[in-house]
Amino acid sequence: MEVFGLWLAAFFTLGIISFLYKDNPWYKFSEAVFIGISAGYWFVVSFWDNLYAKFYLGVTANDDYMLFVGAVLGAMMILRLAPNIGWISRWPLAFVVGAISGFYLMNYFSSNVMKQVQNSVIPLFSADYGQSMFTESFGTIAGKIVIAAGTFTGLIYFFFSKEHKGAFGGAAKVGIWVIMITFGASFGYTVMSRMSLLIGRMDFLFGQWLGMIK
Amino acid sequence: MDCTGKSQKYTYIAILTLFLSLLLIISSANAVNSEVLVEDTTSAFIPNAPTYVTATDYKYDRGESAIVKWQLSSDDNSTGKITGYEIFRSEADADNFVSIGVVLPGENSFRDKSTENGVSYIYGVVTLYNGRTSQMVLSEPITPGTEIVNWNLLNLFIIGLLIAGSVIFFITHAKRGKKLFIRKIAGLEAIDEAIGRATEMGRPILFIPGINDMDDVQTIAGITLLGRVAKVVADYDIKINMPVARSIVMTVGRETIKEAYVSAGRPDAYSDDMVHYITDEQFGYVAAVDGIMVREKPATCFYLGAFFAESLILAETGNSVGAIQIAGTAMPAQLPFFVAACDYTLIGEELFAASAYLSNEPKQLGSLKGQDVGKFMAMMAIALGVFGATIAEAWGGSFFIWLDEFMHRLFTITN
């Protein structure tokens, strides 16, 4: 059975990789099997994790009757299958979108605004009071200037109430340069991590499956 | 001569033996003494107890925790004489102390996160040394309670209030018919151009709203833009295809496109098949979307929402079929891929600003202007804070030190 599983995994891996050549029946078959199995898997996971573990056990074992609110909203979603009363399904949607927007507003505000500003408010030349002005290395000072100026000019780029012209436009241009350089570094870093995924797959094919890598 | 030599030899041997025996006796006696000394030390040592044990209700919570503090034992002097402190707790009207935690030497506080609201407790702290404990020192009884207002978040409240006030002000301003200026966003200008291209080529539009659910603001922003795209699609009678990875996104997507078709006066042209669920599985979804791309060869691909490792796979496949591609996400790690592989990319905040810009509705425009006020405040805070901190570092000065500390306090979240 283990050998069968190994061959099956290799068959589907090669099927998906065959897409690099062009769309073909092998890829279509692998794609359909992958989608079908994953959709079925997630249905089962959702049923046991949510309907059974959270709702059924929550009500019967923990007497948490607030869960009925979620259950009723969920049932209202299904009403869209009935054409005459399908409009009721908009209510839970409105609830989900509205509640989530409100719930995350303060979270995002504190993490993306407050902490960003707090970490950008730094002395440019030294770390602690009492130290002389240039006690830190040139690299550290340059890093601090990049953090403060990069955040400031980055914000200017995302300022929509003023046309990017003159000095303001120049600062916005510096901001987008900082962003693009960051993207470049991030691109290289992520490509390297993707290479490790490819190496993992090749290791499976040539090592576990074909036994060519010991 | 021989006899004398022999007796001398025996004499030396006897002296040497005597000397070695003496050394042996002395060293044995020392060993015994040192063992006795060690034994005496370990058996007799009882560490001194900590002093001034106090317990206070933890602010601000629902009575779920308390803070226990003490003054260090006089034996806690970094010489390894003690191994830590053990904290005990009992309900005030009972005398059943149970251990709730141990901390290392040098620490003088402990947060008990398992209290119940309204129940009175007494805490006790002992000093530990190799299983031996000092006498337990008790705190006064305390009753953890609920604080309705978390005053630690007052700064967050005031800044939030300022920005929310700005949003309301600008919305009211826009509703009165005053024109609010928003600068052009390059990626958005291309949306109409991209849809026009699909019309000319007679090929469909592919809209990918990311792979997160409706609990992600990026998905909400993507769906808002879908409303605009769907309206143009309905006007020009182009085919739109929207495969999704989440069931609620499918429902919202259908509602959005349906509404666009209704508002365009063509409700009969709408079909539920325009939005279809594939799978929640990330790469299963990617495999299906890639298949759709190479089979249907869409003229335009929109990627607007939250994306992860699939971003480059989707964008590269779209590129290979010759589609014009417009992407928008706030995922920092995925933006580089979209920038590299798509024709236009809405970077972070631009995605959220896009719907306001396109719709020209007072509510959205006012909201965007209000957010700009927030950004302006952040810029001023950074400029002022960095200036104050640098001057304080370089030349001191009580005002600049105060300014630096004030700016840090203003933007610090303590919960």
Range of the domain at B217: 180-360
- pLDDT of residue B210 exceeding 80, the answer is yes
Joined together, the tokens standing for residue B82 give 């003690």
**Best residue of B375, B403, B405 to probe chain A, by most A CBs closer than 10 Å:** B375
- What pLDDT was estimated at residue B20? 63
d(CA B352, CA B188): 12
Classify burial at B359, counting beta carbons within 10 Å of its beta carbon; exposed 0-12, middle 13-18, buried 19 or more.
middle
Q: Count CA within 13 A, CB hemisphere, residue B129.
A: 20
pLDDT (average), residues B90-110: 93
- What pLDDT was estimated at residue B21? 67
- pLDDT of residue A131 exceeding 60, the answer is no
Joined together, the tokens standing for residue B137 give 């020192």
Q: Say which of B248, B392, B408 has its CB closest to residue A118.
A: B408
Q: Count CA within 13 A, CB hemisphere, residue A164.
A: 20
Percent of chain B with pLDDT over 70: 90
DSSP B62: B
Assess whether B129 and B188 both reside in one domain.
no
pLDDT (average), residues A97-116: 84
Q: Which residues of B touch A140 (CB under 8 A)?
A: none
d(CA A67, CA A72): 9
Has residue B202 been placed in a domain?
Answer: yes
DSSP A114: I
The confidence band for B3, taking pLDDT boundaries of 50, 70 and 90, is low
Give the number of other Cβ atoms within 10 Å of residue B106's Cβ. Answer: 12
Assess whether B191 and B316 both reside in one domain.
yes
d(CA B103, CA B306): 43
Assess whether B128 and B199 both reside in one domain.
no
Cα of A206 to nearest chain B Cα, Å: 22
Q: Which residues of A touch B312 (CB under 8 A)?
A: 194
Query: What are the tens digits of pLDDT across the range B149-192?
Result: 989 889 989 999 999 999 999 999 999 988 888 888 877 878 88
Assess whether B315 and B191 both reside in one domain.
yes
Has residue B307 been placed in a domain?
Answer: yes
Q: Which of A105-109, B105-109, B189-193, B194-198 has the highest mean pLDDT?
A: B105-109
CATH number of the structural domain spanning residue B112? 2.60.40.10
Has residue B126 been placed in a domain?
Answer: yes
CB contact under 8 A, A93 and B284: no
Q: Is A65 on the interface with B (CB under 8 A)?
A: no
The last residue of one of the domains, among B318, B337, B360, is: B360
Q: Count CA within 13 A, CB hemisphere, residue A47.
A: 6
Assess whether B217 and B72 both reside in one domain.
no
pLDDT (average), residues A13-42: 92
Has residue B371 been placed in a domain?
Answer: no
Has residue B264 been placed in a domain?
Answer: yes
Assess whether B196 and B328 both reside in one domain.
yes
Determine the straight-line distance between the first and last CA of chain A, rounded to whole angstroms: 22
Has residue B254 been placed in a domain?
Answer: yes
pLDDT (average), residues A168-189: 93
Quick check: B400 and B388 in contact, CB under 8 A? Answer: yes
- What pLDDT was estimated at residue B311? 94
Query: What are the tens digits of pLDDT across the range B118-152?
Result: 999 999 999 998 888 999 999 999 999 999 998 98
CA B191 to chain centre: 34
Classify burial at B291, counting beta carbons within 10 Å of its beta carbon; exposed 0-12, middle 13-18, buried 19 or more.
buried
The last residue of one of the domains, among B106, B138, B170, is: B138
pLDDT (average), residues A24-49: 93
Has residue B328 been placed in a domain?
Answer: yes
CB contact under 8 A, A160 and B404: no
Assess whether B114 and B221 both reside in one domain.
no
Q: Say which of A148, A160, A162 has its CB closest to residue B382.
A: A148
Query: What are the tens digits of pLDDT across the range A139-164?
Result: 888 888 999 999 999 999 999 999 99
CA distances from B2 to A128, A179, B7 (A): 88, 104, 9
d(CA A161, CA B387): 25
CATH number of the structural domain spanning residue B296? 3.40.50
Quick check: B159 and B378 in contact, CB under 8 A? Answer: no
CA distances from B113 to B100, B104, B109, B182, B395 (A): 10, 18, 13, 49, 44
CB contact under 8 A, B251 and A93: yes
d(CA B78, CA A70): 56
Q: Is A24 on the interface with B (CB under 8 A)?
A: no
CB contact under 8 A, A161 and B255: no
CB contact under 8 A, A158 and B348: yes
Find, among B47, B54, B26, B181, the residue nearest to B110 by Cα. B54
CA distances from B164 to A109, A134, B180, B281, B374 (A): 12, 42, 17, 38, 9
- What pLDDT was estimated at residue A146? 92
Domain count, chain B: 2
d(CA B353, CA B367): 9
Assess whether B105 and B190 both reside in one domain.
no
Query: What are the tens digits of pLDDT across the range A181-190?
Result: 999 999 988 8
Length of chain A: 214
d(CA B226, CA B261): 12
Find, among B385, B415, B412, B379, the residue nearest to B400 by Cα. B385
Dihedral angle of Cα A186, A189, A194, A195, to the nearest 10 degrees: 150
What is this structure's pTM?
0.74
